[in-house]
Amino acid sequence: MAYIIDGKAVSAKVRAEVAEETAALKERGVTPGLAVIIVGDDPASRTYVNNKKKACAEVGFYSEEYALPADTSQAELMALVRELNEKKEINGILCQLPLPKGLDEGEIIEAISPKKDVDAFHASNVGKIMIGDFDFLPCTPAGVMELLKDAGTEISGKECVVVGRSNIVGKPMAMLLLHKHGTVTICHSRTADLKEVTKRADILVAAVGIPKFIKADMVKPGAVVIDVGMDRDENGKLCGDVDFAEVEPVASAITPVPGGVGPMTIAMLMKNTLAAAKIQNGVE
């Protein structure tokens, strides 16, 4: 039986730490503030935004929501971002992705001030992650690192395989494992003999967005398996990129879906917003 890595418990611990630090910061006259922009009416995006607002209230942040119609123009969205860049009480700006068709996500991300880019998607912050001198980390990979730490997983010297090369998860995930001295391989749709590569992994991170893609015969016995996926199976039931029922008996530790990486993403967003508030107010 694999050890089940409980993302709900670890995220609750992170949020409790953030709430404690926020209370101390408020005594010094600083309240962290997060602005969330949502464009259109995508139900998944709406759920994420609601959860982020709830988390802000829980840790004691000030928050603002900007819900814009799907036909919002690029110019209108850019104007809002510029306005929030200048707003003193806002320390973090988050634009919920994906944006409706016709809007340029790249231009919006680059318009957000790097100091307020709590998603850590801006090219300036991505570059800092590459060299290991960063203020913020992308929330999902940072959450994965927190889960590995809580599970007592040693990364140094281990074979780490990341399946997926997105800018949001795969690439930064590989860099964070590398910073902890893991030997890292990134796999993707062009990888020859994927199974051969994943079976070498002591730590396997799946971030491909394909339901139950990782099967037992792709996993090294005793590996730590982290499932970043959030998919629906053939019955419409929530599942991950890992076939949990198949892989769990093979792994030494594994994250479930739901209740694994998902809760960590919002917890790390809170941590990033707190860090932004401290940096912008010169608080050590």
Give residue 49's pLDDT.
Answer: 93
pTM of the model: 0.95
Position 237 confidence tier, pLDDT thresholds 50, 70, 90: very high
Domain 139-262 in CATH 3.40.50.720? The answer is yes
Residue 245: predicted pLDDT: 97
Equal fold, 29-113 vs 139-262: yes
Q: What is the largest CA-CA distance in the chain?
A: 57
Catalytic site positions: 52, 96, 119
Question: Which residues 6+ apart lie within 8 Å of 11 measured at CB?
Answer: 143, 263, 264, 266, 267
Average pLDDT over the chain reads: 97
Domain 29-113 class, CATH top level: alpha beta
**Is 90 exceeded by the pLDDT of residue 183?**
yes
Q: Can you give the pLDDT at residue 192?
A: 96
DSSP letters along 63-86, please?
EEEEEE-TT--HHHHHHHHHHHHH
- Per-residue pLDDT at 110: 97
pLDDT of 7 = 98
For residue 284, what pLDDT band results from cuts at 50, 70 and 90? confident
**Encoded tokens for 278:** 């401290």
Q: Which pLDDT score, from 0 to 100, does residue 1 have?
A: 87
- Rounded distance between C-alpha atoms, residue 32 and residue 210, angstroms: 36
Q: What is the chain's Cα-based Rg? A: 19
C-alpha 11/C-alpha 17 separation (Å) is: 10
pLDDT of residue 44: 87
Give the model confidence (pLDDT) of 188-235 as tens digits.
Answer: 999 999 999 999 999 999 999 999 999 999 999 999 999 999 999 888
Q: Where do the domains of the chain lie?
A: 29-113, 139-262
pLDDT digits (tens, 9 = 90+) for 42-67: 998 999 999 999 999 999 999 999 99
CA distances, 57 to each of 19, 32, 62, 106, 263 (Å): 10, 11, 7, 29, 16
Q: What is the mean pLDDT of residues 156-168?
A: 97
> Looking at the predicted structure, is the pLDDT value of residue 71 above 90?
yes
Integer Cα distance of 104 and 48 in angstroms: 21
What is residue 78's predicted lDDT score, i.e. its pLDDT? 98
